[in-house]
Amino acid sequence: MTARRFRLGLGVALVAIIALAGLLAPWIAPFDPNASGADVLSGATATHWMGTDDLGRDVYSRVLHGARISLLVGPLAALVTAIIGVPFGLLAGYARGRLNQFLVQVMDLFIALPNLVLALIITVMVGATLLNIVLVLGIVMWPEMARLVRGQVMSLRETPFIEAARSIGCKPSRILAFHIWPNIMRIVAAQMAIAVSAAIFTAASLGFLGLGLPPPAADWGSMVQSGFDYLSLNPLLSLAPGAAVALTVLGFYLVGRSVE
């Protein structure tokens, strides 16, 4: 119990710090994240706390601004995941017979494909814009959500109060909306927090593989990748955005797991 509360507290604190950093980035960042300077690839100094990159941009400012992008991509992707996954899961969990078989097969097909590879292929095809990345992540991740919802619906469907709802003459649509959905909302919310963390992680992976938002956007994944060549000169170039990704992912994951 206490361990769970500790995890929840830690998760909320991490998410809150990242969210504040992202929200306040324009005011607290010491430099314009995209402004080049003469001081190229410097180490950590009093002016540039995390040094500068190969174009002389302030790494600390870029990491702060990167939080804005991650906090946009993650929750939006999770939302798309829920918008596709929840109705699909509700239907797949409640339907019987052929419809059920068909839905489950579609779901299994998507689950069988590795997320990152699928995301890579689609991103290459459609191009890396913010909207595209959000949609791609949602399309890649929804089967997890659908599977979770389906499992919940299937176990709830057999409970007496659902049987009672059928016996008073509720239509399936009403049973799903008024009897099943309120009882799985909490679990869906928890799964969404986990989806946020997964989306941020996958987005960072795309960025690292060169499919992040086009320059000069302060994309954490791209930053890690571009810093790779200069590790000996300023290791913070990769480490700082990498750590930011790790902490954000951890924060949302902890929140999701402890709410569950």
Partner 1 sequence: MTPLLEAIDLARHYPVGGGLFSRKPAGLVRAVDGVSFTVAKGETLGLVGESGCGKSTLARLTLRLIDPTAGTLRFEGQDITRLEGEAMRRLRPRMQMVFQDPFASLNPRMTVAEILAEPLLVHGIGDARQRRARVEALLPMVGLASHHADRKPHEFSGGQRQRIGIARALAVEPSLIVCDEPVSALDVSIQAQVVNLLKDLQARLGLSYLFIAHDLAVVRHVADRVAVMVLGRIMEVAPAEDLYARPSHPYTRMLLAAVPRPDPAQRHLPSAAPATADLPGPLSIPQGCRFHPRCPMAVEPCRREEPGLQPLAGAPGHLTACWRAAELPAWMPPPQAPPAPAAARRLALYAERRDQARDSG
Residue 164 near partner 1 by CB under 8 A: yes
Residue 163 near partner 1 by CB under 8 A: yes
Query: Looking at 96, 112, 160, 232, which residue binds partner 1 (CB under 8 A)?
Result: 160
Amino acid at 174: R
Residue 3 or 98 having the CB closest to partner 1? 98
Alpha helices in 59-214 (DSSP H): 59-94, 97-112, 115-126, 130-157, 160-167, 172-174, 181-206
Query: Looking at 35, 174, 215, 229, which residue binds partner 1 (CB under 8 A)?
Result: 174
Residue 97 near partner 1 by CB under 8 A: no
Own/partner contacts of 236-240, CB < 8 Å, gap of 24 or more, are: 236/43, 236/44, 236/50, 236/51, 236/59, 237/41, 237/50, 237/51, 237/53, 237/59, 240/50, 240/59, 240/60, 240/63
Stretch that binds partner 1, among 7-15, 137-145, 175-183, 240-248 (CB under 8 A): 175-183
Classify 58 as helix, strand or coil: strand
Binding mask 179-208 for partner 1 (x = CB under 8 A): x--xx-------------------------
Residue 18 or 153 having the CB closest to partner 1? 153
Contact residues for partner 1 (CB under 8 A)?
159-161, 163-171, 174, 178-179, 182-183
